[in-house]
């Protein structure tokens, strides 16, 4: 006899192959006093996500229900449609690149909601991991890494965050708010949170039960600035729309929140730029190049940028060079060193910055070093970031001078490139038939005179 699930876990998937197994395993590890079901939906992934889902569904046919879309629908349409398949009293959401770290997560949240009759929605704290599964920091809400938006006013004013992969929501309420969702939205969770706050209070469990994966290049963190700009404009439009949708909101409270945030931003913008600010937010990326020095996004090693770090680089077969992208923003380093399998220090064959007295100075984005390597060896890369933005440092003036020199050198290179292009254009003109034939005619006429 089939047991009706009390909680339906819903995981929407689009190209989540690197993380998906860990995600599903974390669902299977849940220990509950009630029945659960796991609903996996693949939104026409182009990687191996669909195959992974099929394998798990075959191994757990009584627990996992799988759905497959032939055409990509996007997260909003996929979420609205799949929630109708849920049979549980509650719906638990988790994105395909996050995973649960507490086997009692669901049990704790069910107990919490049972103790708070006025709440039909619960969330929890979370730990942060990078896209390679490495731990970054603990308790994002408690440590204020990301502020918890626990009211409608905070959510609307700040485009806030409740961490969707921690949600446990009354199924009927979820279906109700789904009907209000703009299916073209830039961020479905933003709209859903605004609607949920209008209907219920949020019950918060002050325990980290979920690993939130900071996945550069995802929908919420696009690498392309123009995509990010479009996302922000769409979120702004949503905020403006909701000002009219719910006119009884506490506008005084929202104004206070915005004034405080504006003051904080002005203070922050008034500070000198800190060249160490990319730490923990950007990545060191190793690109493996073939004999033709061709690089591919499919052949990379990425690790979150630290102030000081050392990482092992296993050189795959067919690799003759590697390109080391130290970060994504202008930044400065000391003792950047690559050693081969024998411990010998390798010299870079190219750098797009200035190297002087063991200092590696990059005033332009995407600091790069290129090394020749032997295939199938294990190399060790070490680096240490430095700041040139501390005016109280004894060598501040020297560092600023060096940075200015680097900037001038960069501009000089651009001018040299423009000059060479101008010379080439001039030579192409004076040697062309359209130039030489009229010139010969003019010379002939001058001689005749």
Question: How does the average pLDDT of the chain come out, rounded?
Answer: 85
59-68, 272-281, 390-399: which has the highest mean pLDDT? 59-68
Q: What's residue 293's pLDDT?
A: 61
Strand partners, 121: 169, 202
327 pLDDT band, cuts 50/70/90, is confident
Average pLDDT rounded to a whole number, residues 100-104: 98
- Range from 2-6, 279-283, 322-326 carrying the lowest mean pLDDT: 279-283
User: 311 to each of 303, 334, 349, 432, how far by Cα in Å?
Assistant: 8, 16, 20, 55
* Segment 11-38, tens digit of pLDDT: 999 999 999 999 999 999 999 999 999 9
Q: What is the mean pLDDT of residues 316-338?
A: 87
Give pLDDT tens digits for 76-94: 999 999 999 999 999 999 9
pLDDT one-digit tens code per residue, 150-169: 999 999 999 999 999 999 99
**How confident is the model over 42-53, as pLDDT tens digits?**
999 999 999 999
Q: What is the pLDDT of residue 449?
A: 45
Lowest mean pLDDT among 184-188, 192-196, 240-244: 184-188
């Amino acid at each position: 006899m089939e047991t009706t699930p009390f909680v339906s876990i819903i995981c929407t998937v689009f190209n989540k192959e690197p993380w998906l197994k860990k995600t599903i395993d974390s669902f299977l590890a849940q220990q509950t006093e009630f029945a659960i079901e796991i609903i996996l939906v693949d939104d026409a992934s182009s990687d191996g996500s669909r195959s992974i889902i099929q394998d798990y569904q075959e191994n757990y046919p009584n627990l996992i229900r799988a759905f497959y879309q032939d055409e990509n629908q996007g997260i909003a349409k996929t979420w609205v449609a799949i929630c109708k398949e849920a049979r549980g009293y509650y719906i638990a959401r988790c994105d395909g690149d996050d995973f649960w770290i507490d086997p009692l997560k669901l049990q704790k949240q069910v107990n919490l909601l049972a103790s708070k009759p006025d709440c039909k929605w619960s969330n929890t704290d979370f730990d942060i991991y990078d896209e390679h599964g490495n731990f970054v920091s603990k308790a994002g809400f408690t440590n204020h890494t990301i502020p918890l938006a626990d009211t409608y006013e905070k959510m609307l004013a700040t485009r806030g965050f409740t961490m969707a992969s921690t949600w446990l929501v009354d199924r009927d309420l979820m279906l109700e708010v789904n009907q209000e969702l703009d299916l073209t939205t830039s961020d479905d969770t933003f709209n859903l949170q605004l609607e949920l706050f209008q209907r219920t209070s949020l019950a918060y469990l002050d325990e980290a039960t979920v690993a939130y994966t900071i996945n550069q290049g995802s929908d919420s963190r696009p690498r392309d600035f123009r995509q990010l700009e479009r996302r922000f404009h769409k979120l702004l439009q949503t905020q403006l729309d909701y000002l009219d949708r719910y006119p009884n909101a506490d506008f005084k409270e929202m104004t206070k929140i915005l004034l405080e945030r504006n003051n904080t931003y002005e203070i922050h913008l008034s500070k000198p730029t800190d060249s160490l600010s990319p730490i923990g937010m950007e990545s060191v990326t190793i690109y493996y190049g073939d004999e033709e020095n061709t690089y591919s996004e499919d052949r990379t090693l990425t690790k979150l940028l630290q102030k000081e770090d050392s990482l092992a680089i296993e050189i795959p077969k067919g690799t003759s060079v590697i390109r080391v992208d130290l970060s994504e923003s202008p930044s400065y380093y000391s003792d950047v060193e690559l050693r081969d399998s024998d411990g010998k220090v390798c010299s870079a064959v190219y750098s797009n910055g200035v190297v002087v007295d063991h200092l590696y100075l990059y005033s332009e984005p995407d600091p790069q070093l290129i090394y020749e390597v032997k295939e199938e060896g294990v190399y060790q890369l070490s680096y240490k970031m430095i700041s040139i933005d501390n005016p109280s440092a004894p060598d501040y003036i020297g560092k600023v001078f060096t940075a200015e020199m680097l900037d001038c050198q960069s501009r000089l290179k651009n001018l040299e490139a423009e000059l060479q292009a101008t010379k080439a254009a001039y030579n192409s003109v004076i040697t062309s038939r359209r130039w030489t034939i009229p010139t010969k005619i003019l010379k002939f006429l001058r001689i005749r005179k």
